[in-house]
Every structure is written in C-alpha cells, then in structure tokens.
Amino acid sequence: MARLTDRAFEILRAEVDKCAAADSLAGDVYRRMVIKRLEKLRLQNGTFASREEIRDTFKDEFPNFSEQALKAAVKANRPPGLFGKIIFAGSLLGSAAGIIWLINLPFPMIRWPVAKTMPILLLPSFISMDSNYRQAIALVEQSDQLINKATAVADFDLGEIKAKEAQKHLDALPVWFLGYYPKRYCSFFRCSWRFTVDEFEAARKNVGRMEAQIFQQKNAFTQLNQVEQTLKAAKQEYQQAKTAADRQKATVNWQSAIDQLNQIPAETLAGETAKKTLKAAERDFQAMGGIATGSLQADNLIEAAKEFALSAAVASQKPPHPAAQWEQIAELWQEGINRLKLISVDNPGYLDAQTKLAEYQKNLGITQIRLAAEKDSAKALLEAKSLLANLQKDVNSQNPGYSLSQLQQIINQLESVKPGTTVYPESQKWLQSARKKQQEWQKI
C-alpha cells in the first residue's frame, strides 16, 4: 500500500506549484526537490504518511505552504479499506508470525500499547529502523564528502546517487516514532547512537541541501561546457575569417564568451575551472587585439585599393580609348598598387594584399601596353598624314621613282598603326588609298 495516495499527491503538487511560482529566485529548484520527495512517498509501501511527515517534505523550502491544502492532503491520505486489513490480520492471528507482523504494523495505535508493555515484540521494527538510520547517516556523510570535496563532475554524479540512497533510508524511518521507543531497544542492545527527531530532521535538511548543491554544480558545468564550445568556435572563426566583417563578428563572439565565463558561480567547481579558462582566454584575446589592429589597417588599405581598381575597371570598358583616358586608367591601377604596397610582411593581411597586388600589376601592365599602342599609333598616323601632304605638294616636281619611295614610307607608317586603337579605322582608310595610288604609279 502506497504511503501517499494519488489524490493527496495531486493536492500537494498543486500547492507546491503555487508556492514555487511566488518564488522567482529558487522556486523551480525547490519545486523539483519537494515533488521528488512526494513522489518517493507515493512509491513507497507501508504506513500512510502522517501530517508531520508530509510537512517535512516542504517546510524548509516553502514555509508559506497553505495549511488548508495540507489538511486536505492529510484527509485524502487516510488508508482506504482498513476493515479489510483487520480481517486479513485476523486470519494471521493463529500463528506467532502473524501476531508479530500485526503488532509491528506502522500504526501508532498498535505500537504504542505494545511499546509500553512488551517492547521486545517490536524488535523487528527497531532493527529495521536501526539499519535504515545507520545506512542513512553513512550515506549522507559519503555524499557530503563527494559533493563538498569534488574534483570532477563524476564526483557529483556519485554524490547524487549516494544522496538518493540516503533519502530512501530516511523515508523508511517512521518520523512519529523517533526519539522515544528506540530507547528501549538501546536498553537491550546497549547501542551508543542517538536516534532523535532533531537528528533525523538535520539529516533530511542535509540531503535537501546537497540535492540543491548537485543541481547548482551540474548546471554550472553545463554552462561551462557551452561557454568553452562558444569560445573555441569564436577562435576558429577569427582564424578563418577572410574579411574585416567576419573578423569583427568573431571578435564580438569571443568577448561574449569571456563575459559568460565571468558569470559562472565562483563557489562551484565549474567556477574554479572557469577561472583558469578565463585567464587563458583573456590573454589570447589581448594578444589578438594587436593582431586585430594590424588586420584592420590592412583591411582598410585593401578596401581602398579595391575602390581604385573598380574605377580603373569601369573606365577600361568598351575600348578603344584615347591616350589621355588610358593614362588616367593607369594612374588608378597605380594608386591601388601603392595602397597594397603599404601592407608589411608581418601584417595578417599581407597574403591577401599580395594576391591583389599581382592582379593589379598585371592589369597595369596591360593598360600601359594599350597606352603605348595608342600613342604610337596616333603618332604614326600623324606622320603618315604629314608625309602625304608633302608628297602631294611635290608630286609634279619629283620623278616617279622618288614619289614611289615617299609613298612606301607613308604606307609603312600607316601599317604600324595598331588594331584596337582609336586611330586604327582612319588609318585603314588612308592605307587603302595609299596602296591604290602606289599601284597606279607602278604602272607608269
């Protein structure tokens, strides 16, 4: 038979939820602890829990617990079918074992008279209480050692197991019987232990305190693991960042992880571990600060160089262009190159700068070739026009051989005009005319 009925459990849980909601600081933690104790009572078989036993499950955590709700829960926890139990007990009265079983039932109305007249008959109960008490005290001490002198999270796991076992033995002790009748047992067996209500309550409070400690310690370790993962990810993001924006984002995440390390409770084992992690993280972050400054300078210079390169690329579209425009384009490429050359070898952005530098120098070389071709072609066309003008003036006074020679020089000049220049179409017209004239004179 369960020590706490389902109906009583629901009444108590509803009031616990109400009390927990009113305590925003630790209400949820205390709620879990109390509900856990109530569930243990509901799962245990034996005497129905008394009013004081039920009160002990929550009085330390929720002193404002409604007396009305407690009264209703105690009423709902009264043993059903008591008449059936009496009939069942009567069937066992024919044997000595049945009698011993009956008088050791966890009911005060049975135990009190027997304890006053023949306490030896309650020996099984005393032995059970003695065993549960000793186990509870030993387990409480073991759990306390594991929790308060923990060196790793595994200690808290083992401490939690020990605390649960201690709670199980404490729950097996009849609270209403402590401090009284075990004295008779001790008078027979000369036990040296003191078995009092105060001691029982102190043990229960100690278990409750350790449960809260374990909950806090495990939460702190969970928080530490999450922060360490965030910190590691931020470092990797910074190392792999390709742009200033990516580095800035990684820096913010790095600083956020450091701030979270500071928020881990210092009184926890995870907090002590966090101090070492925090020291290393701050050292790395400070070292990164100098690198970040150099990276920012390099990023600014690279961005400026890109602006010049973009302007040069736009100006280069849809050639041919006159020499003046090619000169302007070459100056833009050169300005971008000058910015990139300002980034030193020890700067984190040096490799990116060198990649861009090679690209811009190649484009500058192409621009300079186009510029030279434009200038040379324009000069060749101009000279050809000048020679042609002179030839036209002197054509009547010169001999045919001399005229053909001059015409060949004009053709040579026109043929030196490069394709893709602004003067090339015009030069082709002049060249066609000159070749035609050459053919005519050669027939004379």
Question: Band of the pLDDT at 91, cuts 50, 70, 90?
Answer: very low
Is 125 in contact with 111 (CB distance < 8 Å)?
Answer: yes
How buried is residue 154: exposed, middle or buried, by Cβ count under 10 Å (0-12/13-18/19+)?
exposed
In this predicted model, what pLDDT tens digit does every residue of 39-55 receive, in sequence order?
A: 888 888 877 888 888 88
Question: Band of the pLDDT at 432, cuts 50, 70, 90?
Answer: very high
First to last CA, the chain: 138
Calculate mean pLDDT across residues 153-181.
71
Is 147 in contact with 266 (CB distance < 8 Å)?
Answer: no
Distance (Å, rounded) from C-alpha 337 to C-alpha 418?
Answer: 28
In this predicted model, what pLDDT tens digit does every residue of 390-403 receive, in sequence order?
A: 887 765 555 555 57
- What tokens does 121 get? 């008959």
pLDDT at 290: 45
Distance (Å, rounded) from C-alpha 5 to C-alpha 78?
Answer: 8
Question: Band of the pLDDT at 93, cuts 50, 70, 90?
Answer: very low
pLDDT at 330: 95
Calculate mean pLDDT across residues 319-346.
93
pLDDT at 383: 92
pLDDT at 420: 92
Give me the amino acid identity at 304. A
- What tokens does 154 get? 């595994």
Q: What is the DSSP code string of 234-291? A: HHHHHHH--SHHHHHHHHHHHHHHHHHHHTS-TTSHHHHHHHHHHHHHHHHHHHHHHH
Q: Which residues of 355-379 are buried (b: 16+ CB within 10 A; e: fewer)?
A: ebbeebeebbeebbebbebbebbbe
pLDDT at 236: 84
Is 105 in contact with 128 (CB distance < 8 Å)?
Answer: no
Put simply, whether the predicted model's pTM sits higher than 0.75 gets the answer no
**pLDDT higher for 153 or 427?**
427
Q: Report the chain's mean pLDDT, rounded to a whole number.
A: 78
Question: Band of the pLDDT at 79, cuts 50, 70, 90?
Answer: low
Closest CA to 31 of 208, 171, 159: 208
Distance (Å, rounded) from C-alpha 444 to C-alpha 437?
Answer: 11
pLDDT at 197: 66
Question: Band of the pLDDT at 361, cuts 50, 70, 90?
Answer: very high
- What tokens does 392 get? 């036209």
For the cut 50, the answer to whether the pLDDT of residue 92 exceeds it is: no
